[in-house]
Structure 1
Amino acid sequence: MGKRNPEFVRLGEKDRSCITSNCSVVKEYSVDLAIKHPDYFFQFPVHKNDVAILKLNVDVEYNEFIKPICIIVDEEVNLADINQIQAFGWGITQAHKKKASDTLKTINLQLQSPLECLRSVQVNSTDEQFCARSPTGGDTCYGDSGGPVAGNYMYEGQSRYVQMGIVSFGSLSCNKSAIYTNVTSHRNWILTVLQTHGRQLLLGLETFPGVN
């Protein structure tokens, strides 16, 4: 998470080269408050409790292009039940490139054992994190941090597309296993923030889905 709090978020955006005034589907909202996890810790390369919630100035108006994503706070939800997940972000697409992507990108990921992340980033993942990588090579990279990680999950007999994680950190080469914040392990904190601050919230400093 950056040192500066964001002043606004843009929802419905898929191409950052299109300015708001020319993109009718993009809506901009001011950020009233950035609520960082009280136990956030960073000492390179380690991030712990790498999660924040943004309180917006008004309720988000949902439409065809701006929709919420579910976060299931049931304690019975198990991330290990998901075979494949997707990460989204605006980061660089190759480690040697310096320019971030103008268009929103996604990559398929599969869960890995904590040992895989210990090998790739020399960091032991905690219960508040999970390890994942792309089965076809590549990975999330610089500029993707804060982006959502989501997947289909069977809940109460229905397949639901839910947010399970947030991009946190990985290897310098961007082609190995990386560590992601486990959203489900922060369910109690998320519920506390909801009860305290209301529903004008977004999860993650750079994450666009809202909390259902």
Structure 2
Amino acid sequence: MKCLQAAITLGFLVQLHAVRLLEPRCLTTNTLKELGDTAPWMASISNRNGFVCQGTLITSRFVLTAAHCVKRENSLFVKLGLENGVFSSSQYGVDKILPHFAYSEYKFTNDIALLRLQEDVIFNDFVRPICISLNMDIKDEVETLTEFEAFSGRLAKNDTLKPMALDRSDRSECVSDFGFVVGDSQICAGCINGDICNRDTGGPLVRMISIRKYLWYGVVQLGIASFVADSCNGRVVFTDVISYVDWIEFKIEENSEESTEPDNNVRPPNPIQTSTETPQEQVQFLNNDCGEYTNGIHPWSVKIYWNGIMTKGTVINERFLLTKAQDMSDDPNAIEVTMVDSTGSYEFLVDMVLKHPEYQAGYENDIALLRLSSPLPSTVKPICLIINPEYKKKMADLKYSFIINENNNALRKEVGRLTSDQCATRIGKPIDQNQFCVTIPLGTKYGSPGDVIGLDLNDAGKHMFVITGFASYSSNGITIVTDVVKHTEWIAESSRKY
């Protein structure tokens, strides 16, 4: 598997019911004939100190890259306009950095991120998005591919970027090379005497795709360079883009703004020198008709039973409940749900259990979603869940209330939030980064696992309750809370997807 410099010529045929592309103006049939062997989708990502990573333009507003490149960045710029292997001086500011919510720098999983540019890109001969196929049914065929192309170049030194032909390797070979698990959402590929280095991470793994039925062909991104050998010689682990097209589509839709379509016959604008800032937004809820309660009854509170065990849960929309993952049955048929609201009591069955992908026994990421087999009645109002990312820090600084539900009555008690160090001292061990601790007033019951921690809002005389966490377990007079705010992306995406 010797590395060769390559042009964009590799292709394969697929049969689809319809062609679904993230950006219909991507590099397809007509533009390929006009542009020849170029890579106008390539992006060079930098911070104020210089080059950071490669990326790809996938719409007029969004760039795709690796999460490890941008996770700790707060001020980024993107260069576009690859001409004869060198980027032009056209530069765009980034106003949102969106790494995948489940990215793990220790396991090298979910290594994917989006960057939102401050303004729409204007397409021309040297600036055009790569195609992202939204047809997940091509994944099985992608698994059979043996040849790809990636891009190599010392962009930090303004070196020429060149395409390299790579061969697929079995995932077990990457496991042997790097010592960590390489899963189905990753691709292992490489070549002997290669030149794909750390500087090339974030860049694309591409392939020409032809769909004979629709007389369509185009360059499609199939991977993102995630992990490479220090020697730049050998195999590379790529994030499998097809496994994440639902997430890409959802995050772009969630973070898109109204904009005027650009005139794609003119050159890109002058460089933009501005820092990344998160815009101020109005509070956004997962469900707008939420959180109201009266007469001490919280209609979003439920009890969950399985195998003689009971825990509490919380309604977040008409089909989904939020609860603990620890000890929760994986068999939905073993679970029953009961609840009480102002109109009476109800019983429900569950048809799906979704535990957080990073959940580990011992209460790390102790959170799960249960999908009900039928929708809740309209009289049942879900709890409010704020999904704006910029409100996470604000909510951490507010006073919380603990809702303890006993005998169908809700007791609201104010609680004090401890720092992580204070909590570790009190319970004798550190807590997970997605947990926090609260103290319970003397003489008050600790409540049950799953009881809600949150904010009591008074909106024009109407009481609204916003969830910020739920009780995971108690130790030495302290309640350890799963921080729901840290998991809002996973909750929103999963409840939408399933």
Q: TM-score range by the shorter chain?
A: 0.7 to 0.9
1:73–1:28 distance in 2 versus 1, CA, 3 Å: same
SS at match of 2:137: coil
The equivalent residue for 2:201 is 145
Q: Aligned in 2, Cα 1:195/1:64: closer, same or farther, shift over 3 Å?
A: same
Tell whether 2:169 aligns with 1:112: yes
The TM-score with structure 2 as length reference comes to 0.35
Which structure 2 residues correspond to residues 104-183 of structure 1 after superposition, within 5 A?
A: 104-134=161-191, 137-155=193-211, 157=213, 158-183=216-241
- Distance, in Å, in 2 between the alignment partners of 1:49 and 1:101 is 29
Is the alpha carbon distance of 1:91 and 1:41 closer, same or farther for their aligned partners in structure 2, counting shifts above 3 Å? farther
CA 1:143/1:115 → structure 2, altered by over 3 Å: closer, same or farther?
same
The percent identity for this pair of structures is 31
Q: Distance in 2 between matches of 1:59 and 1:33?
A: 14
In the TM superposition, residue 170 of structure 1 has moved relative to its aligned partner by 2.1
Letter in 2 for 1:28: Q
Q: Deviations over 1:21-66 (max 9, x none)?
A: xx5xx421110101110001012xx411111001011111000111
Question: Is 1:35 paired with 2:98?
Answer: yes
Cα gap change, 1:125/1:91 in structure 2, threshold over 3 Å: closer, same or farther? farther
Contact 2:154–2:160, Cα closer than 8 Å, also in 1: no
Higher relative contact order (CA 8 A, sep 6+): 1
2:152/2:195 contact within 8 Å kept: no
In structure 2, relative to structure 1, the CA distance for the partners of 1:85 and 1:69 (3 Å cut) is: same
In structure 1, what is the Cα distance between the partners aligned to 2:125 and 2:158?
A: 24
Instruction: Indicate how the Cα distance of structure 1 residues 177 and 8 shifts in structure 2: closer, same or farther if over 3 A, else same.
Output: same
In the alignment, which of 75, 88, 91 is matched to residue 151 of structure 2?
88
> Aligned equivalents of 1:120 and 1:188: distance in 2?
30
Give SS of 1:58's match.
Answer: coil
How many residue pairs were aligned?
A: 183
TM-score by length of 1: 0.77
The 1:101/1:167 distance shift into structure 2, 3 A limit, reads farther
Tell me, which stretches of 5 or more residues in structure 2 are unaligned? 1-67, 260-498
Q: CA 1:114–1:49 in 2, change beyond 3 Å: closer, same or farther?
A: same
d(CA) in 2 for partners of 1:141 and 1:11? 21
CA distance in 2, matches of 1:125, 1:102: 31
| Contact 1:91/1:141 (8 A) holds in 2 | no
User: Which structure has the greater CA radius of gyration?
Assistant: 2
1:193 and 1:140 map into 2 onto residues whose CA distance is 29
- Which of 112, 120, 129 is 1:59 aligned to? 120
* Counterpart for residue 184 of structure 1: 242
The separation in 1 between residues aligned to 2:212 and 2:110, in whole angstroms, is: 28
- Does structure 1 retain, via aligned residues, the 8 Å contact 2:198–2:228? no
Output the CA distance in 2 between the equivalents of 1:167 and 1:100: 20
Q: Separation in 1 of the partners of 2:166 and 2:204?
A: 12
Task: Give the deviation of 1:110 after TM superposition.
Answer: 1.5
Q: Pick from 78, 86, 103 the counterpart of residue 9 of structure 1.
A: 78
